[in-house]
């Protein structure tokens, strides 16, 4: 019997397989899925690396700090949109591309 931690780790994969089986049974269409880990809300926010800390420390005003944070956030959102665009180009033969949503609560296994 799998432990509770194993269930949390396998939950996204299990949910994707479940969605895929449901699509196969009902719609009989070719379906592609976006990776939830690649489009999750945490992927949209910038990481506080040493280089970022130095940039923020060097900024003289709150306005400049806000501009730096917004630029970094914009870059991270851009990375996610590039991933989505690549999937759309790669899976052009699919009729639907499904994306999970509702990321308010995240499952974290430790």
Span 46-97, pLDDT tens digits: 778 888 888 888 888 999 889 988 998 898 889 988 998 999 999 888 888 8
DSSP assigned state of 95: S
Residue 13 counted as domain residue: yes
Please tell me whether residue 93 adopts helix, strand or coil conformation.
coil
On whether the CB atoms of residues 96 and 33 are closer than 8 A, the answer is: no
Domain membership flag for residue 80:
yes
- Whether 107 is covered by a domain: the verdict is no
Q: State how many domains the chain has.
A: 1
Full domain range(s) for residue 54: 4-98
How long a stretch of residues is the chain? 110
Q: Within 13 A of 20's CA, how many CA atoms are on the CB side?
A: 13
Kindly state whether residue 103 falls inside one of the protein's structural domains. no
Residue 104 lies in a domain: no
What residues contact residue 21 under an 8 Å CB cut-off, 6+ apart? none
**Is residue 59 within 8 Å of residue 65, measured between CB atoms?**
yes
In a domain, 110, yes or no: no
Q: Looking at the domain assignment, is residue 91 inside a domain? A: yes
pTM of the model: 0.62
- Domain membership of residue 53 (yes or no) is yes
């Amino acid at each position: 019997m799998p432990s509770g931690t194993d269930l949390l780790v396998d939950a996204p994969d299990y949910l994707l397989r479940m969605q895929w089986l449901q699509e196969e049974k009902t719609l009989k269409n070719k379906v592609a899925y976006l990776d939830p880990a690649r489009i999750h809300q945490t992927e949209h926010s910038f990481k506080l690396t040493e280089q970022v800390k130095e940039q923020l420390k060097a900024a003289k005003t709150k306005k400049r700090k806000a501009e730096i944070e917004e630029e970094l956030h914009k870059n991270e959102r851009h990375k996610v949109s590039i991933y989505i665009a690549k999937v759309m180009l790669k899976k052009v033969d699919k009729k639907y591309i499904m994306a999970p949503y509702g990321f308010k609560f995240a499952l974290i296994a430790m």
